[in-house]
């Protein structure tokens, strides 16, 4: 069999039996009247969407893209993809607000801010500028926007340390994504440390934003440019048989599936790249026999939320499978559908409240865990989700790779830094 037996999303509408299960579980429809729900926005409205004719409804813009509907639909209807394509058609028809254009360009924003991160942080998080951003652009004042790294970007660190890092005949390519690059370089450091500890030499080739923020804002053409550049930069590694692992689960999903599916890209090189990309824990689980057993007993209870974007990979729960191997670690899974933020969705003024209401079930879980088990932090694989969880609960959130690195004594979980940043094992 082949995973590439790909059916265009529109073609799946006839599989819908109108059971309404998706409407009952869509986290957005549950909290707002502005979105009628997946069945209506997806397979039902799709019947009225004709090429070269105006879009029948605008409410589809309220779909957050969380893919909960896809996950639970008993009939494999590609609801979320239908919605995303419908939004792109709306954008093509009616244009898009400058705000969405900005949010789609997180790579550019990251880069600009990183030139003077302290100033950028001050400007971005200052109440006055947030007020202005809200009034002018419609970016929610309270939205959990990220903070630029003040100790340099991930690439700064990598370029400085690369000459002394581990060399090995086993090699793996690392896709850091924009968030690790500009805001959380320590996630990349933790990933590099773990991969090296597993005996691999890490390669960090030039790379572009995966394009997800643009895809989810309906800017397909701009997203395709990024995708083409990534094909060009990463494709050769895939062709040479390297695995490409990422720590941002939404980036890896985009490279694997979202970009090629939404952009109708199914040529050989695109399929080769798809086949080479892994979420880091999915990859670690596949290489479990190479996972060293020199764990420190962490004696920790960690509430864990598997992001909706990770569930959309449909690979089970790799982070849980691996973290449970660490002695003394107890994982409590949230079982929550979505934290609400859904990429850039919750940043938008008109959607902020929806996102916070959607997140409530997760926030409640985290806070109850804190009360009952005195947990000090939680874990989640996606950066925007972590920021949203911290915003909604006040509790610190960590990437599971930070936990794994800490379990090998390589990483300080509290200060989010490598224990020995210069540490290089050359072989």
Partner 1 sequence: MIDLLIIGAGLTGLWAGILAGQKGLRTRIIATGHGALHWTPGTIEVLGYLPGDPQPVKRPFEAMERLFTHRPHHPYRLVEPSALRAGLTAFQQVVARSELPYQGAMRAEENLFLPSPVGAPRPVLLAPQAQAAGDMRRSEPYLIVGFHSMRDFYPTVIAENLSKLGHHARAAWLSPDILTDRSDVNVVQLAQALDDRVVAQRLAAALKPLLRPGERVGLPAVLGLERHPEVFQLLEAELGAPIFEIPTLPPSVPGMRLAQALRRHFEHDLQGQVDLGMTVSGFQTHNDMVTWVWSQASARAVKHRASAFLLATGGILGGGFHSDHSGRVWESIFDLPLAIPQNRSQWFRPTFLAPEGHPVFRGGIRVDAGFHPIDDEGRVLYRNLYAAGNLLTDSDGIAERSLEGIAIATAKASIDHLFSSR
Query: Which residue lies nearer to partner 1 by CB, 70 or 248?
Result: 70
**From ligand SF4, partner 1, none, interface partner of 315 (C-beta below 5 to 8 A by class):** partner 1
First to last CA, the chain: 40
> What are the DSSP E strand ranges found in 267-395?
277-279, 300-305, 329-333, 377-380
Q: Spell out, one character per residue from 25 to 44, where the chain touches partner 1: x when CB under 8 A holds, - when not.
A: x----x--x--xx-------
Of 284, 311, 274, nearest in space to 198 by CA? 284
- 309's CB contacts (< 8 A; 6+ apart) are 66, 67, 249, 250, 253, 382, 385
Please pick, from the candidates 313, 348, 351, 416, the single residue that binds partner 1 as defined by CB under 8 A: 313
Query: Which residue lies nearer to partner 1 by CB, 21 or 291?
Result: 21
Q: Tell me the closest approach of the beta carbon of residue 342 to ligand SF4, in angstroms.
A: 7
Q: Spell out, one character per residue from 71 to 90, where the chain touches partner 1: x when CB under 8 A holds, - when not.
A: xxxxxx--------------
Q: What share of the chain is helix, strand, coil (3-state, %, to 5)?
A: 55, 10, 35
Please pick, from the candidates 102, 234, 245, 312, the single residue that binds partner 1 as defined by CB under 8 A: 312
Q: Tell me the closest approach of the beta carbon of residue 111 to partner 1, in angstroms.
A: 28
Q: Tell me the closest approach of the beta carbon of residue 77 to partner 1, in angstroms.
A: 9
Q: Does 20 bind partner 1 (CB under 8 A)?
A: yes
Please pick, from the candidates 55, 70, 149, 250, the single residue that binds partner 1 as defined by CB under 8 A: 70
**From ligand SF4, partner 1, none, interface partner of 38 (C-beta below 5 to 8 A by class):** ligand SF4
DSSP β-bridge partners for residue 171 = 201
**From ligand SF4, partner 1, none, interface partner of 409 (C-beta below 5 to 8 A by class):** none
Cβ atoms 67, 308 nearer than 8 A: yes
> What is the rounded distance in angstroms from the CA atom of residue 333 to the CA atom of residue 320?
8
Judged by CB under 8 A, the stretch of 67-75, 151-159, 213-221, 288-296 that binds partner 1 is 67-75
**From ligand SF4, partner 1, none, interface partner of 253 (C-beta below 5 to 8 A by class):** partner 1
> What is the rounded distance in angstroms from the CA atom of residue 102 to the CA atom of residue 90?
18
Query: Which residue lies nearer to ligand SF4 by CB, 22 or 192?
Result: 22
Q: Tell me the closest approach of the beta carbon of residue 21 to partner 1, in angstroms.
A: 5
Q: Quick one: how many helices (H) and strands (E) in the chain? A: 24, 10
Structure tokens, 84: 């995303």
Q: Name the helix (H) or strand (E) containing 106.
A: helix 106-115
Structure tokens, 252: 């890896």
Q: Does 166 bind partner 1 (CB under 8 A)?
A: no
> What is the rounded distance in angstroms from the CA atom of residue 175 to the CA atom of residue 212?
14
Cβ atoms 263, 224 nearer than 8 A: yes
DSSP β-bridge partners for residue 396 = 377
Q: Spell out, one character per residue from 267 to 286, where the chain touches partner 1: x when CB under 8 A holds, - when not.
A: -------xx-xx--------
**Positions that interact with ligand SF4 (CB under 6 A):** 16-22, 26, 28-29, 38-39, 43, 63-69, 73, 75, 77, 79-80, 83
Query: Which residue lies nearer to ligand SF4 by CB, 259 or 300?
Result: 259
């Amino acid at each position: 069999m082949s995973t590439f037996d790909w059916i265009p999303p529109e073609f799946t509408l006839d599989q819908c039996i109108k059971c309404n299960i998706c409407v009952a579980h869509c986290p957005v429809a549950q909290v707002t009247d502005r979105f009628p729900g997946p069945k209506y926005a997806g397979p039902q409205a799709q019947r009225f969407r004709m090429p070269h004719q105006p879009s029948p409804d605008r409410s589809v813009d309220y779909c957050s893209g969380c893919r909960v509907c896809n996950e639970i639909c008993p009939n494999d209807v590609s609801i979320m993809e239908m919605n995303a394509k419908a939004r792109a058609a709306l954008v093509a028809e009616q244009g898009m607000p400058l705000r969405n254009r900005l949010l789609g360009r997180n790579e550019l924003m990251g880069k600009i801010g990183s030139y003077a991160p302290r100033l950028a942080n001050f400007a971005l998080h200052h109440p006055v500028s947030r007020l202005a951003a809200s009034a002018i652009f419609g970016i929610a004042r309270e939205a959990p926007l990220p903070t630029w790294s003040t100790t340099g970007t991930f690439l700064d660190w990598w370029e400085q340390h690369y000459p002394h890092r581990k060399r090995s005949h086993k090699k793996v390519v690392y896709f850091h994504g924009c968030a690790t690059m500009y805001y959380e370089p320590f996630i990349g450091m933790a990933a590099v440390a773990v991969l090296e500890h597993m005996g691999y030499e890490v390669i960090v080739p030039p790379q572009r934003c995966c394009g997800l923020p643009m895809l989810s804002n309906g800017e397909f053409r701009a997203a395709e440019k990024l995708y083409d550049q990534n094909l060009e930069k990463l494709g050769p590694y895939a062709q040479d048989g390297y695995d490409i692992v990422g720590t941002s689960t939404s980036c890896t999903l985009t490279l694997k599936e979202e970009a090629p599916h939404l952009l109708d890209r199914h040529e050989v090189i695109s399929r080769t790249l798809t086949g080479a990309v892994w979420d880091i824990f999915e990859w670690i689980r596949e290489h479990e026999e190479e996972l060293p057993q020199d764990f420190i007993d962490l004696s920790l209870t960690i509430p864990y939320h598997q992001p909706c974007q990770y569930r959309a990979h449909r690979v089970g729960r790799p982070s849980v499978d691996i973290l449970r191997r660490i002695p003394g670690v107890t994982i409590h899974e949230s079982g929550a559908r979505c934290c609400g933020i859904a990429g850039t969705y919750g940043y938008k003024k008109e959607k902020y409240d929806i996102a916070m209401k959607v997140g409530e079930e997760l926030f409640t879980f985290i806070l109850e865990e804190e009360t009952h088990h005195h947990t000090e932090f939680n874990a989640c694989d996606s950066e925007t989700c972590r920021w949203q969880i911290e915003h909604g609960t006040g509790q610190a959130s960590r990437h599971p790779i930070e936990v794994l690195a800490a379990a090998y004594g390589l990483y300080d979980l509290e200060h989010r830094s490598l224990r020995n940043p210069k540490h290089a094992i050359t072989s």
